[in-house]
Chain A
Amino acid sequence: MADIAHKTDEQLIVEKHIANLHNGFAHWPRAEEAPPALGDSRWTQDLILATWLMAETGKPPENGLEYKIGASGGGFDVLDFNIPTEDKWLPADTEIDLSIPLNRRDDGAQLNINIPMYGGGMSYGSISEHVMQARARAAQHLGTFTSTGEGGYPPSLVLYKDHIITQVATGMFGVREETIQYAPIVEFKYAQGAKPGLGGHLLGDKATDVVAAMRESVPWVSLFSPFPFHSVYSVEDHRKHVDWIRTTNPRALVSVKVSTPTDVDMVAVGSYFAGAHIVHLDGSYGGTGAAPEIAKKNIAMPIEFAIPKVHKYLVSENVREEVTLMASGGVRTAYDVAKAIALGADGCVMGTAELIAIGCTRCSNCERGRGCPFGLTTTDPLLQQLMPADWGQQRIVNMYNAYAIQLRELLRKLGLRSIRELRGRRDLLKYVG
């Protein structure tokens, strides 16, 4: 009671709603009936609730929630693993290695990540600084990375710079000499899966004073990151981009994030020959920010089809062992990660799953009014307090811990000691559509 007397109304309001929300995140995964309006074909009620539960406990759900597949009727949802009989499983105490290398070339730093996943780009402005901090701290804890997205590099993230990828996109928001020099990895975003070929767009309502300052723009004006890079029309042009980064930061690995057009295989090979260490394919069904509905479903192919196409082509060009292939765009679960790797990726880049872990209901109202009602994709000063960074960090760490448990168990049953052995093992998959 004494506490209440000394707190401002705003403090009490924030505390009240945080307590209620946390209560709800714990309640619903254990309830007999799920919220009727929750979920969709891709992220079903069960997947969302299971992610909440994993984010709370750090373990896979044991209460019957379906945490492996969704109900989209295609792609990852019609694939399963062909698990051998039990006598072929590895012993339960077998050490299973989930680390993957991000640099398979001879040049640059030899970076490994402890889990075959890192966080995808979500820009300052499209998400709150608290969310960025939570993701960065989680990446540090897990021994992996997260990406700034294209919205600048808030000073509060510098503490975690060894685990942060600096993204460079056409708007060049927040791209400065020091943000390139901080970065162990620099990511060129040529396109993104949710809106391939359309560029980035921060709606004016989200360009607050702070966000605009970070992007060196003026407040309350929509900020476009137009497609494409007008300095890049060839592999040679792209090579110049890579050289520019290497001049500024010789240590940095270069990642190239591209969408999935019909010639995605050639794009990937071109990116490799231009000097990329990481080719990051972003399929059409993902995305965390606002995007035109027409783009999400209709432009470019889903990641499930792009991965084997690119993997096979890299193999045929004899360069597969020199490049790391990361996949994103509709990768929702640990099992999706494993399927992507079996189809030919080295690892996956995660976005939506992290947001769901910290309370996203996928209501899709990210861009409406003040932004996300759960304080995630918003720059509203009051709303963003609903997701404290330390709470968010732990939720993300827990989710990945639960993923790691699932991946190790799956690999053990498949008789594999390392996630690297799973790459391209299509023979371990079966079609169940």
Chain B
Amino acid sequence: MPEHREAQAGYHRYHIPTRPAPDIEKWPSRFKVKVRRTGLAKLLLSEVFHYRGRKDVILSRPCMYGVFSGPVGGFMPREEHCVGCLRCTTEFPEFVRIEHNPERQKLGDSYFTFNYVDQIAYEASSGLVPVRGAGYRGKFGGEGWDGMWTDMSEIVRPTRDGIHGRETISTVVDIGYTPNFLQFDAAGQPTGSLPHYISIQLPILFEGGDLAREGHVARIYARTAAELDTLAVLPFDQAIGLGEYAHAVVPVVRPQDAPRLSQLGFAPRVVEMHGWDDALYTTITAAFPEAIIALRTGFEDAAALVGYARRGIKVFHLLADYHGRSQDGRFVLDLIREAHTAFVEAGIREEVTLLGSGGMIAAEHMPKAMICGLDAVAVDTPLLVALQARFNGECAGRDASHFSLPSNLNEAWGVQRLKNLAASWRDQLLEILGAMGLREVRRLRGEMGRAMFMKTLEADAFAGLLGYTEAN
């Protein structure tokens, strides 16, 4: 539909405006470029003689990216431009050497490795889908997310939806309660419980409940979430004063916050209760009668979650640590499946919303987590990386991790970085959905038939080979 006709019809196609937002803090370059100056000087001298002073020929450099285009060329290479193509070292193996920069490789930690950091940095600065040539470069499979592939819809699948453009795929998700069915009285009026949910445009929430401890970070999260029509989960203290973004802010309320709920200054659409507490639940319900109350808790006990649902909680924000582990060491992929399955078996999966955080640090983790059973992902550490935070050592524990943000962090830049990240992840989600032939992301939830796991595939393919056992 042409834009003016969409406007006339009161329809607005969802779109995230992206804009380049280059790094504000200089990070170490990806590569170190080492040039032996004597070798270079000898080469230049010999070429001056050989090419009879033909300047353009002599100064024709092997780098297309500007590494040797500074005032003194190869005598002072501009490493920040190096993309690691290796043409220079191929042409001049005797005196040019390209190495991975160990300082760059220190970014992140053992889980959020520098490859993920690089990817997030690109997404947040450009808003684009990372595209590269020459095929896949990584390990074959592995544990966790790396041992899972998503399906695609091939030519002759009779059940395919058909897809005529990624722009028509919906990424809207609902947060709240929807009854399995409605009941009506003799007069045709609905009785019993009614749907109580909100819709947001992205299956991506901003999780700052433990991380947005500083006011300006909380404001960046809230403003971005408001502009994107999603939600920012923030500590109660940081949520105070963010009334201008009321529809996007989800305060996390702990028991000690109960006496101060009126200080919030606005009526949030969703409130997160930090751990189950009867008295706190009553207090929050009384203070914010229209709000959807979510329970913020660990993944550990799926059966207990079903119990909380029976007591009135319909939204669960399930937390693993930043490396995707539960307290007993299990990985978030398995934990999500357990929680989802518990609700399915209880017959109430359609009534509840499952949000998850922890260990979901790349765009591809989002659709995989949804296939395993989440309705949406509340993104945590990638937001900080998008804001160029540095990890101070290993950052796994939610309370024990420390990140350093750039000293010159400013709101406008931060908002654009998070918008860019969200746009990039959404576009990548659309690629996954388009490949499957799905028209809306809500259909992805719990679609285990769309998943392929390495253990299963390998057993199917290699069972019976000498040396192969299921234990492999």
Which residues of chain A have a CB within 8 Å of any CB of chain B? 1, 4-5, 9, 12-13, 16-17, 20-21, 23-25, 27-28, 31, 35-38, 40-43, 72-75, 77-79, 82, 190-191, 194, 196-198, 227-230, 232-235, 238, 258-259, 261-264, 266-267, 270-271, 274, 284-302, 304-305, 307-309, 330, 343, 352, 355, 359-370, 372-374, 377, 383, 426-427, 429-433
Interfacial chain A residues near B15, Cβ < 8 Å = none
Interfacial chain A residues near B142, Cβ < 8 Å = 73
Distance to closest chain A CB from B333 (angstroms): 13
Q: Is the CB of B132 within 8 A of A367?
A: yes
Shortest Cβ distance from B87 into A: residue: A373
Q: Is the CB of B100 within 8 A of A298?
A: no
Q: Is the CB of A267 within 8 A of B431?
A: no
Q: Is the CB of A308 within 8 A of B461?
A: yes
Interfacial chain B residues near A284, Cβ < 8 Å = 136, 149
Pick the interface stretch among B53-61, B217-225, B297-305, B312-320: B53-61
Q: Is the CB of A79 within 8 A of B136?
A: no
Query: Known pairs A21-B87, A233-B155, A291-B132. 13 more at Cβ < 8 A?
Result: A12-B54, A20-B91, A37-B89, A74-B140, A77-B140, A194-B135, A227-B163, A270-B156, A292-B129, A294-B432, A298-B149, A355-B134, A432-B467
Which of B51, B60, B140 makes the CB contact (< 8 A) with A302? B140
Interfacial chain A residues near B156, Cβ < 8 Å = 232-235, 238, 266-267, 270-271, 274
Interfacial chain A residues near B95, Cβ < 8 Å = none
Interfacial chain B residues near A274, Cβ < 8 Å = 156
User: In whole angstroms, what is the CA distance A302 to B140 when docked?
Assistant: 8
User: In whole angstroms, what is the CA distance A426 to B460 when docked?
Assistant: 13
Pick the interface stretch among B78-86, B241-249, B275-283, B322-330: B78-86
Distance to closest chain B CB from A123 (angstroms): 13
Which of B100, B437, B461 makes the CB contact (< 8 A) with A304? B461
User: In whole angstroms, what is the CA distance A230 to B91 when docked?
Assistant: 47
Interfacial chain A residues near B130, Cβ < 8 Å = 292-294
The reply to whether the CB of B154 lies closer than 8 angstroms to some CB of chain A is: yes
Distance to closest chain B CB from A395 (angstroms): 14
Residue among A21, A36, A264 facing the most chain B CB atoms (10 A cut-off): A36
Pick the interface stretch among B205-213, B383-391, B451-459: B451-459
User: In whole angstroms, what is the CA distance A302 to B372 when docked?
Assistant: 21
Distance to closest chain B CB from A329 (angstroms): 8
User: In whole angstroms, what is the CA distance A51 to B247 when docked?
Assistant: 59
Q: Is the CB of A13 within 8 A of B57?
A: yes
Distance to closest chain A CB from B272 (angstroms): 30
Q: Is the CB of B134 within 8 A of A352?
A: yes
Given A24-B91, A287-B134, A370-B64, A36–B100 Cβ distance below 8 Å? Answer: yes
Distance to closest chain B CB from A301 (angstroms): 5
Which 7 pairs show the lowest CB-CB distances between chains A and B?
A74-B140, A366-B133, A197-B435, A24-B90, A20-B91, A197-B152, A431-B468
Q: Is the CB of B54 within 8 A of A28?
A: no
User: In whole angstroms, what is the CA distance A143 to B51 when docked?
Assistant: 43
Distance to closest chain A CB from B154 (angstroms): 5
Interfacial chain B residues near A286, Cβ < 8 Å = 135-136
User: In whole angstroms, what is the CA distance A330 to B137 when docked?
Assistant: 10
The 12 sampled A-B contact pairs (Cβ below 8 Å) are A17-B91, A36-B100, A37-B31, A40-B138, A42-B140, A261-B151, A274-B156, A294-B428, A299-B150, A330-B136, A362-B135, A364-B133
User: In whole angstroms, what is the CA distance A432 to B148 when docked?
Assistant: 22
Q: Is the CB of A292 within 8 A of B52?
A: no
Interfacial chain B residues near A430, Cβ < 8 Å = 465-467
Q: How large is the interface on B (under 10, 10 to 19, 20 to 34, 35 or more residues)?
A: 35 or more
Interfacial chain A residues near B62, Cβ < 8 Å = 17, 20, 373
The reply to whether the CB of B170 lies closer than 8 angstroms to some CB of chain A is: no
Which of A228, A296, A429 makes the CB contact (< 8 A) with B465? A429
Q: Is the CB of A298 within 8 A of B432?
A: yes
Q: Is the CB of B99 within 8 A of A263?
A: no
Binary flags per residue of B422-459, CB closer than 8 Å to A gives 1, else 0: 00000010011011110000000000011010100110
The reply to whether the CB of B162 lies closer than 8 angstroms to some CB of chain A is: yes
Chain A interface helix/strand/loop/mixed: loop
Q: Is the CB of A431 within 8 A of B135?
A: no
Interfacial chain A residues near B85, Cβ < 8 Å = 361, 363, 365, 373-374
Q: Is the CB of A259 within 8 A of B467?
A: no
User: In whole angstroms, what is the CA distance A16 to B129 when docked?
Assistant: 37
Which of B84, B89, B133, B460 makes the CB contact (< 8 A) with A291? B133
Interfacial chain A residues near B52, Cβ < 8 Å = 1, 4-5
The reply to whether the CB of B93 lies closer than 8 angstroms to some CB of chain A is: yes
Within 8 A of A (CB), among B142-189: 142, 146, 148-158, 160, 162-164
Q: Is the CB of B136 within 8 A of A296?
A: yes
User: In whole angstroms, what is the CA distance A28 to B132 when docked?
Assistant: 25
Residue among A40, A293, A298, A305 facing the most chain B CB atoms (10 A cut-off): A298
User: In whole angstroms, what is the CA distance A308 to B459 when docked?
Assistant: 11
Q: Is the CB of B466 within 8 A of A21?
A: no
Interfacial chain B residues near A25, Cβ < 8 Å = 90
The reply to whether the CB of B364 lies closer than 8 angstroms to some CB of chain A is: yes
Q: Is the CB of B435 within 8 A of A227?
A: yes
Q: Is the CB of B84 within 8 A of A362?
A: no
Q: Is the CB of B465 within 8 A of A35?
A: no
Interfacial chain B residues near A267, Cβ < 8 Å = 154-157
Q: Is the CB of A287 within 8 A of B93?
A: no
Given A1-B52, A227-B434, A263-B154, A426–B465 Cβ distance below 8 Å? Answer: yes
Q: Is the CB of B86 within 8 A of A305?
A: no
Which of B137, B155, B450 makes the CB contact (< 8 A) with A190? B155
The reply to whether the CB of B398 lies closer than 8 angstroms to some CB of chain A is: no
User: In whole angstroms, what is the CA distance A374 to B57 when docked?
Assistant: 18
Interfacial chain A residues near B341, Cβ < 8 Å = none
User: In whole angstroms, what is the CA distance A248 to B217 when docked?
Assistant: 64
Q: Is the CB of A293 within 8 A of B466?
A: no
Which of B119, B133, B460 makes the CB contact (< 8 A) with A308? B460
The reply to whether the CB of B363 lies closer than 8 angstroms to some CB of chain A is: yes
Interfacial chain B residues near A297, Cβ < 8 Å = 136, 138, 146, 364
